Structure 1
Amino acid sequence: MSATGEPILASPAAAPAIRQIVFAVAPHLVLLDACGPLEAFWRAELELRRARGSSAEDIVAYKTRVASIEGGTLPTHVGLPVVVERLDALEDEAIDTVVVAGTFVADRMVLDPKLVAWLARIAPRVRRVCSVCVGAFYLAAAGLLDGRRATTHWRSADELARTFPTVDVDADPIFIRDVRGGRAVWTSAGVTAGIDLALALIEEDFGHAVAMQAARRLVVFMKRPGGQSQFSAALDAQHCASAEFDALHAWMTTNLHGDLSVERLAERARMSPRTFARRYVDAVGRTPAKTVEALRLEAASRALAQSHRPMKRIALDCGFGSEQNLRRAFVRRFGVPPLDYRARFASLNAG
């Protein structure tokens, strides 16, 4: 730790031509937490070779290693064992990035003190330290998240905040890059969010175009910005509601630009407006209007982050009717106007 209590990490100096990325894993590894990012780095490798007009394997951007404290055969939570290296065997090598993958959590997170100690020892020597899902607990235990903003799987966010009160836990974002004193520590939400994290790291290393092509090779629906919520408005509505409104929610997501008034929704649900409004609140826990706004805001935030479409067009396509209505809804929900939101994610725009 520094004199100010801030974790000491390596200065983000120019990265080597070959970036060695070590996935630090523990027993009962959540396989996708490691395999998703591993695949993303490999797809970026393929894209860089294509862009350079060569398929030669001597063009290497990333060298990935998967290692645990004991090494050997490691059990995973899905029952598929994997063979990994020993972490202590890698300590003398030039490591660019460490990624701590998550493990299966039943009731509470149980940490391997040897892995915590290894992270505390290796962190000052590497350019980046990252976590996927509950891997954030290991970073926190090693003192690497003290005073920093961080995220993890939404189901474990409260436990992370209780266990490590010096960490500013935010359960909402897909991933967070917290920069202090010129140093960055990355944390991400659960499971598939590790792919989003890896794509962001690739973008930092090789630019937007390479990251987007890697995403295309992975057939990822879109490259989500870190500030996007872990929670899908559509999935959240389905989780809260009974099956009674599943079909209605699916229809709403494809008709955001149309009439989604209570009267129109009630007609679609084959109920009177009064009966529909009452039953909907009982099932979902919020009014139909709140769900409509959440769905429209989610669609608008995607459009702002992933395109250069004019504000007026986005407002119309997402059902806000006017730029003024879109702006009011954005400020109410996100605390910033739409153009500020777009500027925040300007480097991620798809064009």
Structure 2
Amino acid sequence: MPLPSPPPPPRPAPVRHGAPAARHIVMLAFEGARLLDVTGPLEVFSAAARLGGRYEIHLCSPDGSAVTTASGTRLAVDAGMPESGAPPLDTVLVPGAEELTQGRFPPGLLDAVRTLAGRSRRVASVCAGAFALAGAGLLDGRRATTHWRHTATLAARHPTLSVDPDAIYVRDGHLFTSAGVSAGIDLALALVEADEGPGLAREVARDLVVFMQRPGGQSQFSVPARTPRPRHDALRALLDEIAADPAADHSNTVLAAKAGLSPRHLARLFREHTGTTPAGYVEAVRLEAAQTLLANGESATATARRTGIGSDETLRRLFLRRLGVTPSAYRARFCTTTR
């Protein structure tokens, strides 16, 4: 199938002798792609270019036609895939779509992924875009990740693939895969840091008001958000109260009294609906609150007090046990995207 040539680019500004060439970033959009999978990484590279990074961004589709994303937003693309005579490609980005997880690929997508991958320095997927990389044969025998809801499906469909269900993004050689939707922003920031250094990546993160590096893995996302809402009214009220004020007295005795239940009955309900004990749930919420405070520059002492964890030493032991790092090391992670 002949591929149309991209339109001529605008006349570039004069280039100083010996200046490095721009890195060409190609986002391969297609029918049904998730909008944020496309626009999130492009915002990162666009901000990086505006702040001095050497990037040129291209939005393409397999056949050069405009595409309609999963949200119904219509995206006009630059053209079809760049032809072989075009400037060398640096990075190819493949967004995700729900259909990909079901083994349904838009016409021409897998061929386009293979072609672009053969001409680029590195290939990256966002969310379920990993299914397109795997379907194109790029991930055989590799490590990868995808949206937490689909990691088991990806592993079952591609047995030679080692799937990390808890990673925000995974690098295996020149191949990068990222977790659900907004993790594409995390990955793009890491790519900018690798290209241009942590200084520019930090400026981009500040410009977009996002974490330089998101804390933890996919399992570190909001405790209330990833806990199914219990059917039991009293338990629902307790979970809301814990989330609203982590530092309050949430001992088993106090919680049971508020719910009008015995401590034993309350423990059974927690185990049934949250998969953990009352104390375990409270600890997880407090840890999450502590992560947020530390990331925003709060001291360890104030963080321990404001979250109900208690002392600096208790905070330190909790971080080591649950995250494998000290509070100070955790705070330092926000200075770089490197994991």
Partner of 2:146: 152
Match of 1:195 in 2: 185
**Aligned partners of 1:286 and 1:240: how far apart in 2?**
14
Correspondence for 1:293 among 272, 276, 283: 283
Is 1:35–2:42 an aligned residue pair?
Answer: no
Matched, 1:177 2:188: no
**Contact 2:270-2:278 at 8 Å conserved across structures:** yes
Is residue 25–residue 102 contact of structure 1 (8 Å, CA) maintained in 2?
Answer: no
Give the CA deviation at 1:73.
2.1
**Distance in 2 between the 1:210 and 1:249 partners?**
40
Once the two structures are TM-superposed, the CA of residue 18 in structure 1 deviates from its matched residue by 1.9
CA RMSD across the alignment: 3.3
Mean CA deviation greater in 280-289 or 323-332: 323-332
Query: For residues 269 and 126 of structure 1, what CA distance do their matches in structure 2 show?
Result: 59
Counterpart in the other structure of 1:67: 60
Displacement after TM superposition at 1:290 (Å): 1.9
* Cα distance in 2 between the residues matched to 1:248 and 1:18: 55
Q: Residue 166 of structure 1: CA displacement? A: 1.6
- For 1:134, the equivalent position in structure 2 comes to 128
* Aligned residues of 2:315 and 2:327 also touching (Cα < 8 A): no
Question: Residue 100 of structure 1 corresponds to which residue in structure 2?
Answer: 94
Q: Which moved more, 1:197-206 or 1:271-280?
A: 271-280
**Map of 1:7 onto structure 2:** none
In the alignment, which of 63, 73, 77 is matched to residue 70 of structure 2?
77
- TM-score normalised according to structure 1 size: 0.75
CA distance in 2: counterparts of 1:266 and 1:194, whole angstroms: 42
Decide whether the 8 Å contact of 1:240 with 1:285 is kept in 2: no
Q: Which residue of 2 aligns with 1:320?
A: 309
How far did residue 248 of structure 1 move? 3.6
Q: Is the 8 A contact 2:101 2:128 kept in 1?
A: no
Q: Which residue of 2 aligns with 1:86?
A: 80
Structure 2 unaligned regions, length at least 5: 1-18
Amino acid of the structure 1 residue aligned with 2:44:
A
1:338 aligns with 2:331: no
Q: Is the 8 A contact 1:28 1:103 kept in 2?
A: yes
Equivalent-residue separation in structure 2 for 1:132 and 1:104 (angstroms):
12
- SS at 1:133's partner residue? coil
Contact 1:69 1:88 in 2 (8 A): no
| Pair 280,346 (structure 1): closer, same or farther in 2 beyond 3 Å | closer
2: CA distance, partners of 1:340 / 1:17: 39
Q: Which runs of 5+ in 1 are unaligned?
A: 1-14, 50-59
TM-score by length of 2: 0.78
Contact 1:173–1:226, Cα closer than 8 Å, also in 2: no
Report the equivalent of 1:167: 161
- Percentage of pairs with the same residue: 40
Contact 2:166 2:218 in 1 (8 A): yes
Amino acid at match of 2:96: G
- Does structure 2 conserve the Cα–Cα contact (< 8 Å) formed by 1:98 and 1:128? yes
Equivalent position amino acid for 2:201 in 1: A
1:33: Cα distance to partner? 0.6
Of 23, 26, 50 in structure 1, the residue corresponding to residue 27 of structure 2 is 23
